[in-house]
């Protein structure tokens, strides 16, 4: 459909209202003519084929035959576009999701934003190819459509159709002017209309593609999201049963990072994921023939009856080795803390300004439980639950980075302490002529060594702590991992009883990478960033 839509920008529409008349009306205003034709066909279908219009499961080919019948009776055509292509386009407008249809399944699209019936923008991931960006006119990851819906009512109808098809149970109206939910397997939507939105804007909708791409260890290293050492450190913490909390705003890459780390776990590791309404994780592994599941994973999502806290309660009774709660956002934070403190390994995410602020927010969420426990005690419990905190951020050049990793613990006086282990330091920002940041360069620094307490936990599980000293405090981290890292992690996995099987081996960990420096092209106005 996208190729058809491109041609529509330049083609002329030719129509005759009556088949017996050969008078053709030509116009360069293709959009307006298409809108008029769409309205005509819609009214025709409503008046003549009401059952087809009202039945979302009506046979597609039969519906298209009705459209084709209308076009033939009136001699409607578009130059350089055959009738079948026009039928497909009109069917998409009437039964599909109009202008946004081709973007809903595009693997490079992260968000579709309908800001009003006349304003539609598409946000692409940083992985979109340069050729595709140039062809579509994507600028800094954003595409603003030069076409729009035919009217405020048409925009609202498209959003209602999407909600209705996915059985949300209601539609946008004055009684329910905001709806939030999900559809498909990986799409989340928030939509609104009048009276919370100006009536003349028609409708607003944000459609977010959840984790549209699967990324592995090498992808994170190649893109600079993490170095080999940092990735291996996080994986080592997980293998050593240390709970980790990932912090960042929306689209910072938290879920993608969690999915990658969990994807490294051996098939025998029993993993349970708990998500709010929408399932983002897909950790199930199949054999080569796709006939048998070979790992031990359970994916759960919340319902009206079973919230995250209730599912967590059930998860603890199923002997999991790792529990992944997609996001802490309410009173379930206390239950998460208790799960960690009773020996379970938990990975989770939370929205906060930085690593230290994440513990404050988690303690505040625990207060929502209404227990007679002071904030100070709750804060200490959070510190005890998650010794490792990881901050991710999407920078101004659209790249995603792990910008800080901290270790938190209670000292000998039972006072909470937090120190930065790794930090990303920006050394240079490169701007284009318009003053926009197009490239951020930097380096990862190891600011502090791990505490003796954490090192002891590593050693108790057979981890050779020489790996932790690969980079000294205050040094810049090497971009390539050493072969020793692979040996240490494989040895670690062999020393953990439940992982001591041949199929549990991690392969290609720490492979050396030597890539030539990439020349910068058309990147003027370099500015160094002060330390």
| 235 and 181 assigned to the same domain | no
pLDDT of residue 506: 36
Instruction: Say how far apart CA 66 and CA 340 lie, in whole Å.
Output: 61
**Of 229, 163, 213, which is closest to residue 192 (Cα–Cα)?**
163
- End-of-domain residue from the set 95, 120, 143: 95
Residue 88 CB coordination number (10 Å): 16
| 251 and 358 assigned to the same domain | yes
Among 53-57, 422-426, 462-466, 481-485, which is the least confidently predicted range?
481-485
Instruction: Say how far apart CA 173 and CA 192 lie, in whole Å.
Output: 9
Instruction: Say how far apart CA 438 and CA 444 lie, in whole Å.
Output: 20
Domain count, the chain: 3
- The CATH number of the domain holding residue 324 is 3.40.50.300
Q: Would you tell me the crossing angle of helices 332-341 and 355-367 to the nearest 10 degrees?
A: 110
Structure tokens at 90: 């009109």
Sign of CA dihedral 374, 378, 379, 381: positive
Percentage above 90 pLDDT, the chain: 40
Direct distance between the N- and C-terminal alpha carbons of the chain, in angstroms, rounded to an integer: 51
List, as one string, the DSSP characters of 341-408: HTT-EEEEEE--SSHHHHHHHHHHHHHTT--S--HHHHHHHHHHH-SEEEEEEE-TTS-EEEEEEEEE
Give the residue-averaged pLDDT of 202-214.
80
| 62 and 195 assigned to the same domain | no
Highest mean pLDDT among 27-41, 141-155, 179-193, 505-519: 141-155
Encode pLDDT of 73-118 as tens digits.
Answer: 888 876 656 788 888 888 877 777 888 888 988 888 989 999 999 9
The C-alpha angle 354, 355, 357, rounded to 5 degrees, equals 65
| 44 and 186 assigned to the same domain | no
| 137 and 223 assigned to the same domain | no
pTM over 0.75: no
Highest mean pLDDT among 328-342, 425-439, 466-480, 500-514: 328-342
- End-of-domain residue from the set 186, 209, 232: 209
| 259 and 186 assigned to the same domain | no
Task: Answer whether 242's CB lies under 8 Å from 387's CB.
Answer: yes
| 277 and 177 assigned to the same domain | no
| 19 and 128 assigned to the same domain | no
| 225 and 131 assigned to the same domain | no
Instruction: Say how far apart CA 373 and CA 412 lie, in whole Å.
Output: 22
- End-of-domain residue from the set 193, 209, 225: 209
Instruction: Say how far apart CA 321 and CA 344 lie, in whole Å.
Output: 7
| 134 and 242 assigned to the same domain | no
- The CATH number of the domain holding residue 150 is 3.30.450.370
| 376 and 472 assigned to the same domain | yes
Q: Which domain holds residue 356?
A: 217-528
| 195 and 265 assigned to the same domain | no
Give the residue-averaged pLDDT of 332-345.
93
């Amino acid at each position: 459909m996208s190729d058809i839509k491109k041609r529509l920008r330049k083609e002329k529409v030719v129509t005759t209202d009556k088949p017996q008349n050969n008078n053709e009306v030509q116009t360069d205003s293709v959009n307006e003519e298409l809108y008029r034709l769409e309205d005509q066909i819609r009214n025709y279908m409503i008046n003549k084929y009401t059952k087809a219009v009202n039945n979302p499961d009506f046979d597609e080919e039969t519906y298209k035959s009705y459209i084709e019948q209308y076009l033939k009776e009136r001699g409607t055509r578009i130059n350089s576009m055959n009738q079948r292509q026009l039928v497909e386009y009109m069917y998409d407008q009437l039964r599909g999701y109009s202008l946004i249809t081709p973007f809903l399944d595009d693997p490079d699209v992260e968000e579709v934003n309908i800001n009003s019936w006349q304003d539609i923008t598409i946000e692409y991931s940083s992985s979109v190819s340069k050729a595709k960006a140039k062809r579509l006119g994507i600028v800094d990851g954003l595409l603003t459509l030069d076409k729009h819906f035919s009217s405020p009512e048409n925009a609202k109808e498209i959003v209602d159709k999407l909600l209705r098809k996915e059985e949300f149970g209601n539609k946008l109206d004055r009684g329910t002017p905001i709806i939030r939910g999900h559809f498909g397997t990986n799409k989340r939507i928030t939509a609104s209309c009048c009276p919370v939105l100006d009536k003349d804007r028609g409708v607003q909708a944000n459609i977010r593609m959840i984790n549209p791409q699967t990324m592995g260890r090498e992808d994170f290293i190649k893109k600079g999201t993490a170095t080999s050492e940092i990735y291996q450190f996080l994986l080592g913490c997980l293998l050593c049963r240390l709970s980790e909390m990932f912090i960042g705003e929306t689209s910072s890459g938290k879920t993608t990072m969690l999915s990658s780390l969990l994807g490294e776990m051996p098939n025998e590791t029993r993993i349970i994921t708990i998500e709010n309404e929408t399932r983002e994780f897909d950790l199930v592994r199949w054999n080569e023939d796709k006939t048998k599941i070979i790992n031990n994973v359970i994916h759960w999502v919340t319902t009206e009856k079973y919230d995250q806290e209730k599912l967590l309660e059930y998860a603890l009774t199923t002997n999991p080795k790792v529990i992944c709660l997609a996001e802490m956002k309410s009173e379930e934070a206390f239950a998460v803390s208790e799960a960690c403190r009773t020996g379970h390994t938990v990975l989770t995410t939370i929205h906060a300004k930085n690593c230290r602020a994440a513990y404050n927010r988690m303690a505040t969420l625990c207060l929502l439980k209404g227990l007679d426990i002071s904030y100070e005690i709750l804060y200490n419990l959070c510190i005890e639950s998650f010794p490792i905190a990881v901050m991710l951020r999407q920078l101004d050049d659209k790249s995603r980075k792990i910008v800080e990793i901290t270790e938190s613990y209670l000292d000998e006086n039972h006072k909470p302490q937090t120190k930065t282990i790794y930090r990303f330091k920006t050394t240079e920002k490169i701007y284009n002529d318009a003053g926009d940041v197009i490239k951020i360069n930097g380096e990862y620094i190891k600011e502090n060594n791990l505490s003796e307490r954490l090192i002891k936990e590593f050693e108790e599980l057979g981890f050779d702590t020489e790996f932790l000293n690969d980079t000294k405090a205050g040094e810049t981290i090497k971009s390539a991992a050493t072969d020793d890292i692979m040996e240490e992690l494989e040895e670690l996995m062999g020393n953990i009883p439940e992982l001591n099987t041949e199929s549990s081996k991690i392969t290609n960990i720490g492979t050396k990478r030597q890539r030539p420096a990439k020349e910068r092209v058309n990147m003027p106005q370099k500015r160094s960033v002060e330390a």
